[in-house]
Amino acid sequence: MRPIHRLGVSLLVALFTAPLAPLAASAAPARPAPKPKVQVGGYVKTVGRAVAKKPTSKAFEVLPESADLRQWAPAIGNQGQIGSCVSWSIAHNIMGYWANRTGGSGAPYAPLYLYMRTVAAGGAPNAGTNPDYALQTATNSGVDTQADYFQGYYNYQTAPTTAQIANAANYRVSGWTRLWLGAGQTTTAKEAMMAAMASGNPVAIGMPVYSNFSALGAHTIYNSASGSMLGGHMMAAFAYDSQGITVRNSWGGNWGNAGEAKLSWSWVLSRVDAAYSVRGITTPATPVAMKPSIASMSAVKGANTGGTEVTLTGSGLADVTSVTVGGAAATNLQSALVSGSTRLTFRTPAGSNGVVDVRATSSGGTSDVGTQTKFTYQNPPPLLSSLSASSGLVFGGETVTATGNYFTGATPKVTVGTKTATGVKVVSATSLTFKVPPQPVGTYDVRLANALGASGAQSYGYTNPPAPTVTGVTPSSVPYYKASTVVVTGQALDRVTGATLGGTKATFTKVSATSAKVSVPAGAAGSFALVLTNTAGSSQGVTVTRTTPSAPTLSSLSTSTGWTYATTSVLVTGANLTDATGATANGAKVTMAKVSDTQVKVTMPKAAGAGVSLVRVTTPGGTSNAVNFTYTAPAAPTLASLSVGSAASSAAKTLVTINGTNLTAASRVTVGGQSVSFSRQSDSRVVATLGKRTAGTYHVQVTTPGGVTTTYGGSAFRYV
């Protein structure tokens, strides 16, 4: 560590007697760049009052008329929207001046570091700091270098690290003096400030800021306030002359005279309420070599072919001599100071797919690894060289094969224009298929993309299909009274978008490029033009006729007679019976079932008596002619004999065969008027089952639709 002291006064007299560079004679026109939005209120003055003391140095019998230290001042800075003006004045401007003037190492120094070390807990970014405390901190603990302070100028959310605090101890203020405290000073304060700058010591001043000062542009001299008082502010004075002092601000180069202001002596003595002379700094002969530390990477994945640009943020990056990615050397190392934070940019070497570590090496060591240093190698963005088809129809849906490279891994996203293709299937690293989405007519860029980026474009055009043509329709005639389906044949029918029948919208179904089905609804009879339409136009019309069917005719009945006492199922034969809606017998509705175009089945009901019934069938074409169905009444039954004439009264079961005529439809057998069970055997025979009965003679009778048999001697049955 070597001290850098204030230069001897005797050596400076000649340097500071030269007049200041001339300033603008009057206010200049508005600057082309907008005025910066400035932060005011960062200066917290010390409570109390101390008048300036007359300089005691005997080096100056007469103070120089002017002095200018700006040739060693650092570049104009910008504190942004952070209340760090005190730290910018001390760390950046004055410590930077001493480093430039005396060859101190480590500059520039980090104003945000000093601010974060002196601001009240939780006060950043708006709270200000006290210059006495800031100077004492810079003297006792030092200020970190900007190269090491990766938080830059504005990242107040991240506190100084332990390593940064340790490094700051190498770069300290070696001495400082408060020249006065409190506004309204005498000319003694002017002499004290002139003596300090004539001795080579910049002076930090604190003062109130008014609206006209915050908006100051190019000017000759500032000597009066106007507008609202916005708060306290600190700047570094680097020059004086007979008119006043020149201060270097921390509001960027678009403010004032390219970042500076000329304050009149009357303003300084009446409004500047504190002034501090800084006598020097101590630094190592060379900057302390810091072990690099990586805080973040701008890219955490890249192509396995290498060449991904990555920017590192962190500390100790300014002196990095090499970067490795998975052990392989990166190329194109470049460092830059961005908003006070060192950014180290490099390009990755080629690598194998997977996760590797990024490490930076300098004379201070090699950075540690962590989650923030992981870099993932992946396949590069897809390379698209050709498409199997360069155009298709506006409906989309065609399958296209893309040829190129780097298709494997995560399935690439395929876009056609702004739409995403569907059905993407990777065949190999160099081939994939996809279905094009529908698009309006035009030419669109096809691109493939993965997590690392998109391919170049191949063109794909969309065209309208040809208008449909119709060559035939089957059937060409349909019944008027019901919906029918017709099959249309022609060309370009697979892209049909609409159908009309006689100008009225009809429902259609696409079958193939040469066939489509159209539903013809029920409607008025007549001929109508059937037209098919797609996006390119309409077909010629083909005629579909709704017809009235011929009237039905009946020719025969499968049976023309039936018993009056029974229902009879009759198959009616004729013509034009397909859509029969009903049948009647002598005008009364009867049950009917459709069988075919030539037959229906009719159920003839029971009749009250014998006779002829006229059968008719009705269809949408009308009512048919009548055919005769004859009802026959059955003859009366007769009982001729019994197979058994007697039985024991105690017999549990006696089978008796009843012989007679017209017994087919027998419905009841009685013995002495009491019903017994029986079974019909034929038209002339019935078998009855007799049970126990009291001894006596009983007559057997059979009931049919034709009547009841009479009793006589042959019908008697005797129980003994």
Query: Which two tokens mark 19?
Result: 């007049």
Please report the pLDDT score of residue 369 as a whole number.
Answer: 96
> How far is the C-alpha of 574 from the C-alpha of 571, rounded, in Å?
10
Token pair for 417: 């224009």
pLDDT one-digit tens code per residue, 658-704: 999 999 999 999 999 999 999 999 999 999 999 999 999 999 999 99
pLDDT at position 2 is: 34
Phi, psi angle pair for 569, to nearest 5°: -85, 125
| pLDDT for 9 beyond 90 | no
* pLDDT value of position 452: 84
Smallest CA-to-CA distance from 277 within 59, 53, 33 is with 53
CA–CA distance, 203 with 244 (Å, rounded to integer): 13
Q: What is the pLDDT of residues 389-417, one digit of tens each?
A: 999 999 899 999 999 999 987 899 999 99
Instruction: Say if CB 599 and CB 577 are below 8 A apart.
Output: yes
- Domain architecture of the chain: domains with CATH: 42-283 (3.90.70.10), 293-378 (2.60.40.10), 383-463 (2.60.40.10), 469-547 (2.60.40.10), 553-632 (2.60.40.10), 638-719 (2.60.40.10)
pLDDT digits (tens, 9 = 90+) for 334-385: 998 888 888 999 999 999 999 999 999 999 999 999 999 999 999 899 999 9
617 within 8 A of 592, measured Cβ to Cβ: yes
pLDDT confidence band for 56 (50 / 70 / 90): confident
Radius of gyration for the alpha carbons in the chain, expressed in angstroms and rounded: 58
Contact 141, 117 (CB under 8 A): yes
pLDDT classification of 37: cutoffs 50, 70, 90:
low
Whether 437 and 416 have beta carbons less than 8 Å apart is answered as: yes
Sort 34 into a burial class: Cβ within 10 Å, 0-12 / 13-18 / 19+.
exposed
Burial (CB count within 10 angstroms: exposed 0-12, middle 13-18, buried 19+), residue 8: exposed
Q: Kind and range of the H or E element at 268?
A: helix 265-271
**CB-CB contact of 664 with 687 (8 Å):** no
Q: What is the pLDDT of residues 594-651, one digit of tens each?
A: 999 999 999 999 999 999 999 999 999 999 999 999 999 999 999 999 999 999 999 9
Share of the chain above pLDDT 90, in %: 85
Name the residue type at position 263. Answer: L
Nearest-5° Cα angle at 631, 626 to 637? 175
Distance CA 223, CA 15 (A): 27
21 pLDDT more than 90: no
pLDDT confidence of residue 59? 55
pLDDT of residue 4: 33
Tell me if 494 sits within 8 A of 513, measured CB to CB. yes
Residue 40 in this model has a pLDDT that exceeds 90 = no
Calculate the CA 246 to chain-centre distance: 57
Plot region of 363 (φ>0 → left; ψ -120 to 50 → alpha; else → beta):
alpha
Which residue is listed with tokens 């604190």?
206
Distance from the Cα of residue 535 to its chain's centroid: 32
At residue 342, the pLDDT reads: 86
The size of the chain, in residues, is 720
pLDDT digits (tens, 9 = 90+) for 448-489: 999 888 999 999 999 988 999 999 999 999 999 999 999 999
CB atoms closer than 10 angstroms to residue 390: 13
Q: State the DSSP string of 68-109.
A: E-GGGSPPP-B--SSS-HHHIIIIIIIHHHHHHHHT-SSPSB
Amino acid at 222: Y
Q: Is the pLDDT of residue 173 over 80?
A: yes
At 147, give phi and psi (nearest 5°): -65, -30
pLDDT band of residue 10 (cuts 50, 70, 90) is very low
Mean pLDDT of the chain: 91
Question: For residues 209 and 189, what is the distance between their CA atoms, to the nearest angstrom?
Answer: 20
